[in-house]
Amino acid sequence: MLKNFWYAVEFSAAVTNKPKQITVMGTNYVLYRDSKGQIVALEDRCAHRGASLAGGWVEKNCLKCPYHGWGYNSEGQVELIPADKPGVPIAKRAKIKSLPVREKYSFIWVFFGDLPDEQRPPIPQLPEFDNPTWRIVSGEYTWNAHYTRVIESGLDSAHAPFVHSAFFSNRDDAEVPSYEVHTDEWSASAKTISKPPKRVGLLKFIVKRDRPFSSAELTVHLPNINRITLDFNFRGYQYIYFASNIPVDENTTLTKWIGLRNFLTQPWADWNSRKNTIDTYLEDKAVIESQHPRVVPYHLTGEVLVSSDNLQIAYRKLLRKYIDRGWGIGDYGLDSQQLPEESLNAIEEKEASSEFLTI
Ligand code: FES
Ligand SMILES: [Fe+2]
């Protein structure tokens, strides 16, 4: 994963004063609300003898370890050791890591890294979230896949007629019209045009019968956000899928998503938004979980990419930019990438001359 980014790791509503464990790239953290309702995120490993604090409780604004009752403040410093005589000083190193936290867009965002506040990359914008004309549903889904593969599937138009044939039936007409990619410091996106999906289910109410094409804006915000905006080209109707693909470990991704729509905003239509998302996941699952290597290759020549992959190429270039800056950790530490025998120079030359890289 990349360090020095905010990661949306949980829904706000899921965190109370009862400690809750989350796992990010194989490390456990514990989240809870203090007496003021502020979220606290700590490393979930007691400094005493390693017990999980998620099995503990919050008392007098301290998180208590369930093993010997040590009490941690929100900075991760131990303030109470019940087995010691009163007045015995507590070692400074009786401390665990406390991580910066924000609440935004119904998510809890935790900063993994070592940059000071003013140098941290921003949390992506989602202005529709605060606009009451949009109706919002949420959900989560677990993949046995690396999060980079999950992200790339959300950037990919070319698989729709094959994997999502229930909506896109025509496999004989699968050409992807060329599209432009826009990249900035933290994100890459493209507006894509495709054949319109079938007017099934509630789509009958929001899609015109004779619609010649369908358009979507596909975006990746580093480190792990997919945003897909479906435009139904009818009365301004749109559906926005905004998902945090959480790297639980190298083989597991937990996607926590919200879906925003500005049509059929009555609660009775919520089931349809959820069903469409889950159906899409189920269709994607088999192919995404089959991909090897698990992590997308560091080198652009590691796979044969064509012009319909231009958005994924832009994503891989962004990844590389921050890996090269030293922000890759764990699966994205350069040492852990299986580099081929060829020298790095030879690979770079090949990439520079590759006819496949059209952006
Ligand atoms: S292991 Fe936590 S107090 Fe002993
Ligand atoms: Fe898909």
Q: What is the pLDDT of residue 358?
A: 35
| Ligand found nearest the CA of 167 | 2
pLDDT value at residue 202? 76
Residue nearest to atom 4 of ligand 1 (CA): 68
Which residues sit with their C-beta closer than 6 Å to ligand 1?
A: 46, 48-49, 51, 65, 67-68, 70
A 10 A CB-CB count for 90 gives 14
Separation between Cα atoms, residue 328 and residue 331, nearest integer Å: 8
Which pLDDT value is given to residue 208? 72
d(Cα 107, Cα 22) in Å, to the nearest integer? 13
What is the four-CA torsion angle of 283, 289, 290, 295, rounded to 10 degrees?
Answer: 130
Residue 252: its pLDDT value, please? 97
- Starting from the CA of residue 279, give the closest ligand: 2
pLDDT of residue 359: 33
Class of domain 125-359: alpha beta
Residue type, 25: M
CB 282 within 8 A of CB 288: no
For the chain, residues classed under CATH 3.90.380.10 are 125-359
The fold for domain 5-119 equals Rieske Iron-sulfur Protein (2.102.10)
Nearest Cα residue to atom 1 of ligand 1? 49
Distance 184 CA to ligand 2 centre (A): 24
The pLDDT, as a whole number, for residue 207 is 75
pLDDT, position 340: 46
pLDDT on residue 351: 58
Distance 324 CA to ligand 1 centre (A): 39
Largest pairwise CA distance in the chain: 80
Q: What's the pLDDT score for residue 151?
A: 98
Distances (CA, A) of 250 to 26, 100, 246: 8, 24, 11
- For 101, the 3-state DSSP assignment is strand
Give buried/exposed letters for 324-346 (b at 16+ CB in 10 A, else e): eeebbbbbbeeeebeeeeeeeee
Nearest ligand to the CA of 68 is 1
Q: What single DSSP character describes residue 69?
A: -
Residues having C-beta closer than 5 Å to ion ligand 2: 153, 284
The number of angstroms, rounded, from the C-alpha of 122 to the middle of its chain's C-alpha atoms is 14
Residues 6+ apart with CB under 8 A from 138: 11, 106, 256, 257, 258, 259
What atom in ligand 1 is closest to the CA of residue 69?
3
**Which atom of ligand 1 sits closest to the CA of residue 53?**
2
CA pseudo-torsion sign 141, 163, 161, 176:
positive
Ligand 1 probe mutation, 52, 59, 62, 68, most atoms within 8 A of CB: 68
Atom of ligand 1 nearest to the CA of 49: 1
Confidence at residue 162, expressed as pLDDT on a 0 to 100 scale? 92
Please list the residue range(s) of the chain that carry CATH number 2.102.10.10. Answer: 5-119
Q: How do the pLDDT tens digits run along the chain, 359 residues long?
A: 999 999 999 999 999 999 999 999 999 999 999 999 999 999 999 999 999 999 999 999 999 999 999 999 999 999 999 999 999 999 999 999 999 999 999 999 999 999 999 999 999 999 999 999 999 999 999 999 999 999 999 999 999 989 988 777 677 778 899 999 999 999 999 998 877 777 777 777 777 767 777 789 999 999 999 999 999 888 889 999 999 999 999 999 999 999 999 999 999 999 998 999 999 999 999 999 999 999 999 888 889 999 999 999 999 999 999 999 999 988 776 555 544 445 455 555 665 555 444 33
Taking the C-alpha atoms of residue 285 and residue 110, their distance in angstroms, rounded to an integer, is 27
Report the distance separating Cα 190 and Cα 307, nearest Å. 13
* pTM confidence score: 0.92
